Structure 1
């Protein structure tokens, strides 16, 4: 694991006195619904706790979702979206480094319609994306929305992965009863990146495969996937910024694509945070306990002084 993390370490932005707000990552989360207010909050606050500079959350006004999110943290920039109107979101995309779609999105037709239009717009400007939660269900209904777009990362849990496998099997005419391997799904969808969450996290772009078996915790509190989405989004923003401003011949020779490296680093970080939280609070561990250990975990995994 150390070797892979060493490949990612140069992409962590140095904390310099002459940096401007936003240069260490501008991330946005599209999600939230009447049932799920915590999910976009967990993703967004995790992004900030890891070291992202700015996090926007686009959430619906219906049922007071956006208002509730505004009360959870003044650090998050919450945009109330009227009637799931994508035109309230799309103009912001050019100012972002990564868009996370799905935490708490829900399955209403209006939410899915809005998310679909935003994903298409983000793809049109080559904006890196992380799709999680209900955005994965949306993708299973319309694989073309992400097929061939190698700047997207999908983060399915077991149930979402089965649905994704079934959709891809239907697309290729596979009538077997077995699940497709993640590398086959990634390949069939045009070398997108898949993070298959489970006992081990499997990360693949269809060409290469990485696994993260860092010990986590046995407690299955809700929200861990949202933390991971925020972590992957932030680290993916960093890696894209690194290559934008520090591209060199060495960068061309990197062993793994930056989407895979970012996902690997994020999986290791969240697993370490979960482990540390569980050692302290055991059976009572909740999502905030994991978030509160992100800083300690980051220092353990990336011990160099990045402030120099």
Structure 2
């Protein structure tokens, strides 16, 4: 199945032709970062850009110098300093985006949560695709946060083990399930109205409640932080490409696909991360860090998605 799913995704990748203008290969944003965590939003945004997205924004708080620190990391990224977690500094930008990643390094303060909540509501109101990762998944599990995404088919959740457990417990509390067992990804997706879940683990399980695919591509045993942020950025880039493909090819419909775009994009991103991680580990072994994984993007992208037109 793995090669088949990758083959189904390949047509979505924008061709590198001189007639393209800036933005046609994706305008991505990341809402995240806090005084404790600046690396997470950087890794998500730079992954999307290194994969070939044209424009990548980061919306980050000014608290603790977070936005200033992010501005020094890479001039290719557009960093917006957000004063006092004010969502009105972010919402006007949403109309210019193709996808927004919310959560990497966001922190768990009331201000960060309230800001993210208003941005999620605004994004849903304009049908903007979202990838939710990291701290936002924990915050969704309190104060009826799950209501914000209930039934929204353009949202992809990428929980790690801890975040997945919290999602399961939150939904069991809502449904009155007192059992000790974890809900399956399919059960969580169904209860949330068929949103897409990427349950990260030794094997990644991806489901919209109706269909499920699994990625067991070899990754690496080194569990350095930042791999989840890489994945969130990769999912955003690939999901954007899938949506743009049908925007520019009006004679085709995503309904013709055997799998939803969310599943295909997430599967391709999971496979790509694992390929990059494996290649980085083969070179750096125990000392592998996320910056090493980022360096593998060019070669591994060409290996996984060879440009047949240039051969």
TM-score range, shorter chain: over 0.9
Determine the C-alpha separation between the residues in 1 that align with 2:254 and 2:26: 20
Q: TM-score, normalised by structure 2?
A: 0.97
Determine the C-alpha separation between the residues in 2 that align with 1:93 and 1:305: 35
Counterpart for residue 289 of structure 1: 292
1:212 matched to 2:215: yes
Counterpart for residue 135 of structure 1: 136
The one of 173, 196, 201 equivalent to 1:198 is 201
CA apart distance, 1:252: 2.4
Contact 1:28 1:100 in 2 (8 A): yes
Counterpart for residue 41 of structure 2: 40
1:123 matched to 2:127: no
Determine the C-alpha separation between the residues in 1 that align with 2:252 and 2:36: 48
Determine the C-alpha separation between the residues in 2 that align with 1:234 and 1:58: 17
Determine the C-alpha separation between the residues in 1 that align with 2:222 and 2:309: 32
2:151 counterpart SS class: coil
Contact 1:132 1:156 in 2 (8 A): yes
Contact 1:219 1:285 in 2 (8 A): yes
Contact 2:254 2:260 in 1 (8 A): no
Residues 67-121 of structure 1 deviation map (CA, whole Å, 9 limit, x = unaligned): 0000000000000000000000000000000000000000000000000000000
1:58 counterpart SS class: strand
Distance 1:292 1:195, change over 3 A: same
2:214 counterpart SS class: strand
CA apart distance, 1:305: 3.5
CA apart distance, 1:171: 1.3
Residues 216-262 of structure 1 deviation map (CA, whole Å, 9 limit, x = unaligned): 00000000000000000000110110111214356422011101100
Contact 1:34 1:62 in 2 (8 A): yes
Distance 1:47 1:307, change over 3 A: farther
2:131 counterpart SS class: strand
Determine the C-alpha separation between the residues in 1 that align with 2:204 and 2:299: 21
Counterpart for residue 245 of structure 2: 242
Determine the C-alpha separation between the residues in 1 that align with 2:307 and 2:239: 20
1:101 matched to 2:102: yes
Determine the C-alpha separation between the residues in 2 that align with 1:36 and 1:45: 15
- Indicate the RMSD between aligned Cα atoms, in angstroms: 1.1
Contact 1:56 1:76 in 2 (8 A): yes
Determine the C-alpha separation between the residues in 1 that align with 2:254 and 2:100: 24
Contact 1:31 1:104 in 2 (8 A): yes
What are structure 2's unaligned runs of at least 5 residues? none
2:221 counterpart SS class: coil
1:72 counterpart SS class: coil
The one of 130, 147, 152 equivalent to 2:150 is 147
Counterpart for residue 112 of structure 1: 113
Determine the C-alpha separation between the residues in 1 that align with 2:5 and 2:181: 31
Counterpart for residue 280 of structure 1: 283
CA apart distance, 1:306: 5.9
Counterpart for residue 163 of structure 2: 160
Q: TM-score, normalised by structure 1?
A: 0.98
CA apart distance, 1:173: 1.4
Determine the C-alpha separation between the residues in 2 that align with 1:307 and 1:61: 45
Determine the C-alpha separation between the residues in 1 that align with 2:121 and 2:256: 31
2:141 counterpart SS class: helix
Counterpart for residue 13 of structure 1: 14
Determine the C-alpha separation between the residues in 2 that align with 1:272 and 1:248: 34
